[in-house]
Amino acid sequence: MLRFIDARGKDLSWIANELSWRKRDFPQDKRDLVLNIIENVKSEGDKALLRYSEIFDKVKFSLSTEMLANNAEISNAYDNVDKKFIEAIHKAKERIFGFHKSQMQKSWMIYEDDGSILGQKVGPIENVGVYVPGGRAAYPSSVLMNVIPAKLAGVKNIIMVSPPSEDGNLSPYTLVAANEAGCDAIYKVGGAQAIAALAYGTETIPKVDKIVGPGNIYVTLAKKEVYGIVDIDMIAGPSEVLVIADNSANPAYVAADLLAQAEHDPLASSILLTDSFETAQSVFVQIEVQMKRMSKVKIIEQSLNDYGAIVVLDSIDLAIGTANMIAPEHLELCVREPFQRLNSIKHAGAIFLGHHTPEAIGDYMAGPNHVLPTNGTARFFSPLSVEHFVKKSSVLYFTNKALESIAKDAIEIANAEGLSAHANSIEVRLKQNDAISSKRS
């Protein structure tokens, strides 16, 4: 069961030491395996993909073309899901689309009095690969969260990869979501080999410019290794939630939210910070009561035992200081007047305010993206957004008059850097202008 930590009378450094159990380093043996997989896919292409599908996914494709989900499979997927699910996907799609539409950016120009024009040209990345976890599980929500912002940005080709189950098929829920979101191609390939295929291209899977989407440690390591060959969204770790609650919080709600996060993965982290000993005790009891009804009890138990904690502190202010130190993926503010505390939160992937905003609603229907920075990276990373799928070019135009107004200063800096050719590229234009002026006079 999760740890119960009485931190009353303790400072932030003591609390930090008690909660610093999660390792951020990747095991070398796993990194070596991933590097080997990447090199093999890079050199062998489809041949390596077929081999790894058989080894890791227990799926033996006879031909490379069988890795591509065809129209018949997609059509069959619709026959194998409930109409209520399709309706739910439509509603979620609408809400996610509506939220991300507000993030769209436009090109802009500044016209100076001297005739110079400065600006920024904003355009979509052309080819994007989306990784969606699969195998025994289905994550249609991840499909929507990764594909919809890309579509809004104007990405031309969106390629989805996902590991198949042992029968060689993808979940019908995943296929329906991918089709509804607008994927251009869906491949039944997973793991580090899928990331390598997207980064370098094979005979069947085209090379992309950027890879997004969550995955296990092998997928994460592969994304890290191919960064620079392609762009990636972020280096994501196991999911996490941190709940800050005072005595106005409903213990049953808080316990349910901690359990929901623990259900993700044995490595998931669920932490409660509270200034109320009574609330802490009640949440602890509620966890034991509610957990008995959950379908993934073993995963929840391991997650809570290894990475869960209930911490009682002296104040909510100290709890917020602890949260800023942790920089969690999900932060729930289950306190009185949560909006009054909002500006005190410096680092969090997503902030859920009040007693009726469970993290789980953000996973599916709220609208904001659920692909979020983890492992403290909310200090410098942001949620997946439309901006992740665009690139920007600076635009510059100078007239003779505009160039002359700043040329001497530019030459001065170039000479200070010892870059005479840089200085010369400006000076030749000034000399040309002087020569033209002399002829005219």
Confidence of residue 434 (pLDDT cuts 50, 70, 90): low
Q: Which H or E run contains 304?
A: helix 297-307
Mean pLDDT score of the chain: 95
pLDDT in tens, 27-68: 899 999 999 999 999 999 999 999 999 999 999 999 999 999
Q: Taking Cα atoms as reference points, which of 237, 246, 238, 234 lies closest to residue 332?
A: 246
CA 183 to chain centre: 18
Tell me the C-alpha distance between 369 and 372, whole Å.
7
Q: Can you tell me whether residue 138 is helix, strand or coil?
A: coil
pLDDT at 79: 97
**If pLDDT is split at 50, 70 and 90, which confidence band does 441 have?**
low
Amino acid identity, position 335: V
* Cβ neighbours of 85 (radius 10 Å): 15
% pLDDT > 70, the chain: 97
3-state DSSP assignment of residue 131: strand
Query: Sorting pLDDT into bands at 50, 70 and 90, what band is 435?
Result: low
Which contacts (CB < 8 Å, 24+ apart) does range 39-47 have?
A: 41/193, 41/196, 41/197, 41/200, 41/202, 42/196, 42/200, 45/202, 45/203, 45/204, 46/202, 46/203, 46/204, 46/205
Contact 280, 4 (CB under 8 A): yes
Instruction: Report pLDDT for 432.
Output: 74
- Per residue in 345-368, pLDDT (tens digit) is 999 999 999 999 999 999 999 999
- Which domains are delineated in the chain? 3-22+238-366 (3.40.50.1980), 28-76+116-236 (3.40.50.1980), 400-440 (no CATH)
Contact (Cβ atoms closer than 8 angstroms) between residue 124 and residue 155: yes
* Of the candidates 157, 144, 160, 146, the residue with the CA atom closest to the CA atom of residue 94: 144
Element (H, E) at 427: helix 420-440
End-to-end CA distance of the chain: 91
More confident: 20 or 288? 288
pLDDT computed for residue 19 by the predictor: 87
Give me the pLDDT at residue 191, please.
Answer: 97
What is d(CA 140, CA 111) in angstroms, rounded to the nearest whole number?
Answer: 46
Residue 24's pLDDT is: 64
Average pLDDT over residues 13-40: 87
Task: With residue 393 as reference, give the H or E element that holds it.
Answer: strand 390-397
Q: What are the φ and ψ backbone dihedral angles of 241, each rounded to 5 degrees?
A: -135, 140
pLDDT band for 437, please (50, 70, 90 cuts). low
Q: At 76, which helix (H) or strand (E)?
A: helix 71-79
| Structure token pair of residue 57 | 């996914």
| Positive or negative: CA dihedral 139, 141, 142, 148 | positive
CA distances from 42 to 160, 167, 195, 227, 371 (A): 19, 27, 11, 15, 28
- pLDDT tens for 276-292 read 999 999 999 999 999 99
The average pLDDT across 312-317 equals: 97
- Tell me, yes or no, if the pTM score tops 0.85: yes
As a whole number of angstroms, the distance between CA 62 and CA 77 comes to 22
Kind of pairing, strands 269-274 and 240-245?
A: parallel
**Once rounded to an integer, what is the mean pLDDT over residues 213-231?**
95
Residue 26, helix vs strand vs coil: coil
- Per DSSP, 340 falls in state H
Structure tokens belonging to residue 69: 């989900």
Burial of 220-241, coded b for 16+ CB within 10 Å and e otherwise, reads: bbbbebbeebbbbbbbbbbbbb
Angle at 349 between CA 301 and CA 273, to 5 degrees: 50
pLDDT at 107: 97
Residue whose token pair is 């979501």: 177
Q: Check residue 438 and give its pLDDT.
A: 56
> How many helices (H) does the chain have, and how many strands (E)?
17, 14
Report the catalytic residues: 329-330
Structure letter (DSSP) for residue 245:
E
Q: Is the pLDDT of residue 342 over 80?
A: yes
Half-sphere exposure of 161 (CA within 13 A, CB side): 29
pLDDT higher than 80, residue 87: yes
How many angstroms from the chain centroid is the CA of residue 310? 27
